[in-house]
Copies of this chain bind each other. A is one copy, B any other.
Amino acid sequence: MAPASDATLGETGEFGLISQLVDIFEGDEHVLVGPGDDAAVLRIKHGHVVVSTDLMVEGRHFRRDWADAADVGHRAAAQNLSDINAMGGTGRHLTIGLAAPADLPVAWALDFARGFSEECALVGATVVGGDVTRADELVIAVTVIGQCTQAPVLRSGARPGDVLALTGRQGWAAGGLAVLGRGFRSPRVLVEAYRRPEPPYAAGREAAEAGATSLIDVSDGLLSEAGHIAEASGVAVDVRRGAFEIPEPLQAVGAALGADPMQFILTGGDDHSLLATFPDTASVPAGWQVVGEVLEGEGVTVDGAAYDGPTGWTHF
């Protein structure tokens, strides 16, 4: 590998850069949690304020021929609101930056905004600001500010002996994306799951109140996110295939595309399901499913063995 000073982003990847960036940005006494978790946590007077930001790039995170403008709006909002959900909080206020080619139809931007706004309304959040500028590529930059009524749940609190649990649809959006990638439009339920994810917005706070020791949303892939918990907590995480029932549409897609449907569940993102660890099975709230356990060690295994293949989406 080239020395860091000569390396390109394509070589170090997103996480290689981020680990160097966090060293540059020092916090202050109002920053309870800085970069590195789902959202930053700020102490502003008496409350915990959580902040997160995400980029979506056309052709990479969305395609205008695979989802209409309102769908893209729903997805963009959902992705950001989910980061606050993954802290045990609720999104309150959002800003949108829209860098767009001059030939982008205004109707697209307005439909995007309507979809975005509708998704925000699901949790009572509102758009409070934005910026619009010209670019060759369509890039959407969203920042969300949320509130936690209790201590935010970080990625770093998992302990050996904890159970790993999941809530929300998992693998559906990845199945929908695979279908779209082959030029199909069905099973419709999966395509719709990709176009309009349904994050379990109430579940983050429920997990926090139930004593979750760590919490993350599955944006990039279940095994990938489990790996973030393992790394931040200094533990190993084992995921059990047998814990998952493969939904019928994913079975159908697997058969049609010659793919293992379990792969959608283990490595799919975009559903914004929540993954958490709890001290024991008894503390897992209703609606959550135990899917593995926390062990001493490091890294992520599936049924006790290394997983062969990519564990999720990478941004470079």
Interface residues of A (CB under 8 A from B): 4-12, 14, 16-18, 20-21, 24-28, 30-31, 34-35, 39-40, 42, 44-47, 49, 51-55, 57, 60-61, 92-93, 95-107, 109-110, 113-114, 117, 124, 126-137, 139, 141, 143, 145, 147, 315-316
Q: A9-B100, A44-B147 are in contact. List 8 more A-B contacts (CB 8 A).
A: A4-B110, A16-B106, A20-B110, A24-B113, A30-B93, A57-B135, A134-B315, A145-B145
Tell me the bound Cα distance from A147 to B145 in angstroms. 14
In contact, B8 and A102 (Cβ under 8 angstroms): yes
In contact, A60 and B134 (Cβ under 8 angstroms): yes
In contact, B51 and A129 (Cβ under 8 angstroms): yes
In contact, A139 and B109 (Cβ under 8 angstroms): no
Residues on B with beta carbons closer than 8 Å to the beta carbon of A99: 55, 57, 137, 139, 141
Residues on B with beta carbons closer than 8 Å to the beta carbon of A42: 92-93, 128, 145
In contact, B128 and A24 (Cβ under 8 angstroms): no
In contact, A129 and B96 (Cβ under 8 angstroms): no
Residues on B with beta carbons closer than 8 Å to the beta carbon of A110: 4, 17, 20-21, 24
Q: Which of B20, B107, B135, B315 contacts A106 (CB 8 A)?
A: B20
Tell me the bound Cα distance from A306 to B93 in angstroms. 40
In contact, B9 and A315 (Cβ under 8 angstroms): no
In contact, A27 and B131 (Cβ under 8 angstroms): no
Report how many copies the assembly holds.
2
Question: Measured between C-beta atoms, what is the minimum distance from A36 to chain B in Å?
Answer: 9
In contact, B129 and A39 (Cβ under 8 angstroms): yes
Question: Measured between C-beta atoms, what is the minimum distance from A128 to chain B in Å?
Answer: 4
Tell me the bound Cα distance from A127 to B22 in angstroms. 9
Q: Which of B35, B109, B129 contacts A17 (CB 8 A)?
A: B109
In contact, A134 and B51 (Cβ under 8 angstroms): no
In contact, A51 and B145 (Cβ under 8 angstroms): yes
Residues on B with beta carbons closer than 8 Å to the beta carbon of A103: 8-10
Residues on B with beta carbons closer than 8 Å to the beta carbon of A21: 109-110, 113, 130, 132
Residues on B with beta carbons closer than 8 Å to the beta carbon of A14: 132-133
Q: Which of B47, B61, B128, B147 contacts A51 (CB 8 A)?
A: B128
Q: Which of B8, B40, B316 contacts A95 (CB 8 A)?
A: B40
Residues on B with beta carbons closer than 8 Å to the beta carbon of A95: 40, 51-53, 143
Closest to A134 in B: B316
Q: Which of B128, B139, B316 contacts A35 (CB 8 A)?
A: B128
Question: Measured between C-beta atoms, what is the minimum distance from A131 to chain B in Å?
Answer: 5
In contact, A129 and B7 (Cβ under 8 angstroms): no
In contact, A54 and B97 (Cβ under 8 angstroms): yes
Tell me the bound Cα distance from A134 to B96 in angstroms. 19
Residues on B with beta carbons closer than 8 Å to the beta carbon of A106: 4-5, 7-9, 11-12, 16-17, 20
